Amino acid sequence: MKEIVDFLTSANIMDLATDPRVLFLTLVVVVAAVIMRWKFVLLLLFGVGGILAVVRYSRLGAGEAALDRHLVVFAGGAFLVVAVLIYFLFVKGD
């Protein structure tokens, strides 16, 4: 247990998102959520994965935060992820 806590406290978000153990655990949760039809778990995983993908693509995770194209890509991508979440949570009925 101590090793898990040390790993989580020493890792940053982008390293944690590409760790094979975390990806495997995420895959197991996705499969369980699809089988059990857990809509909120799937949307949560989509939101977290979408924001991580936008951060990685816009290079804001690398410390290149400036008012240029990277910030516009981040804002646009985050807006798209939020729009999809709002649609599935509030607009589309079951």
Helical H segments across 38-90, by residue range: 39-58, 69-86
- Summarised one tens digit per residue, pLDDT across range 53-68 is 887 777 665 555 555 6
**Positions in the chain short of pLDDT 70:** 1, 4-11, 59-68, 93-94
Domain count, the chain: 1
Check if the beta carbon of residue 45 is closer than 8 Å to that of residue 22: no
- pLDDT computed for residue 53 by the predictor: 82
Closest CA to 59 of 69, 50, 49: 69
Distance, CA of 13 to CA of 15 (rounded, Å): 6
Range of the domain at 83: 2-91
Q: Does the predicted TM-score (pTM) go above 0.75?
A: no
